[in-house]
Amino acid sequence: MSIEPPSMPPQPGMAERAIDTATDISRTLADVSTTLRAAVDRLSDAIIAARQSGRPLSTISAVTREAPLASLFAAFLFGVAVARRR
């Protein structure tokens, strides 16, 4: 009666593991790209909606065109106020 060790399935080689890793990374990048594209589309839609007449971005754009230095100064003061809170 001879006892044989259980046969082990062959282990993947270095090239096969590299191909599997590259495939996994490719799928991950495709998923990230799809998610990022959807987020950019939602952000673009939000910006377009905010630029409609009477909305905040429309008002800010109009004020900035009329008085660019005053708008820059106001933005600077806002930045200083936010920075001091931290």
CA distances from 58 to 49, 63, 68, 73 (A): 10, 9, 15, 19
Specify the pLDDT at position 63: 85
3-state secondary structure of 47: helix
The answer to whether position 51 is within a domain reads yes
Amino acid at 4: E
Distance CA 84, CA 77 (A): 11
Taking residues 1-12, report their average pLDDT: 64
Question: Residue 73: which domain range?
Answer: 30-85
Is the model more confident about 14 or about 10? 14
Taking residues 61-75, report their average pLDDT: 89
Percent of the chain with pLDDT over 90: 44
The answer to whether position 61 is within a domain reads yes
The answer to whether position 8 is within a domain reads no
The answer to whether position 7 is within a domain reads no
The number of folded domains in the chain is 1
pLDDT > 80? residue 11: no
The answer to whether position 14 is within a domain reads no
**Confidence (pTM):** 0.51
- Residue 12 and residue 20 in contact, taking contact as beta carbons nearer than 8 Å: yes
Amino acid at 14: M
Q: Mutual orientation of helices 68-85 and 56-66 as an angle, nearest 10°?
A: 120
The answer to whether position 24 is within a domain reads no
Specify the pLDDT at position 38: 97
The answer to whether position 75 is within a domain reads yes
